[in-house]
Amino acid sequence: MKNKILAIICGTVALFGLGYLIYVVLGLNALNGPEAAAVFTKLELAPIILMEVLYATLMIIIFSKWTQIKTFSEGAFAGLIMGAFIGGCSTLEVFATSELVNLTGVLMAVGTFGVRFAVAGGVIGWFLGNTKEK
């Protein structure tokens, strides 16, 4: 249980840290359509952190219960695939139903989610494999 809690914390830090770096500092936002600037006028950190905790928890459930991932490289590869699918699916839905994103934004979301989830998946896999249960 201790290793899973540590993995959740570290996975959340990796997801949030890279997300902040990619989306806020570097400004690589996938929602880049003409109406996006009018819609996104605030940044509330509490729901974003909760989202990252839920993503990390989902990865831990999948890694520990179903796939037995216990190394950085296995976790990074699985995280890359999960992140690319989550980023692509969520952004394709916005692309199909609004003017908030264009196809370039969908591809950017696939890449940025893939990178974020690959690092978080690697960290989570490492924690699941290198901390001892008592």
| pLDDT confidence of residue 34 | 67
Domain that includes residue 30, residue range = 2-130
Q: How many Cβ atoms are within 10 Å of 99's Cβ, its own excluded?
A: 12
Distances (CA, A) of 49 to 41, 72, 131: 18, 23, 24
Residue 94: both structure tokens together = 């916005």
Number of domains in the chain: 1
- Spell out the residues 6+ positions from residue 98 whose beta carbon is closer than 8 angstroms to its own: 33, 35
Q: How confident is the model at residue 96 (pLDDT cuts 50, 70, 90)?
A: very high
Q: What angle do CA 84, 126, 113 make, to 5 degrees?
A: 15
Give the whole-angstrom CA distance, residue 91 versus residue 77: 21
- Its pTM stands at 0.89
Give the whole-angstrom CA distance, residue 74 versus residue 68: 10
Give the whole-angstrom CA distance, residue 60 versus residue 125: 8
| pLDDT confidence of residue 30 | 66
| pLDDT confidence of residue 132 | 64
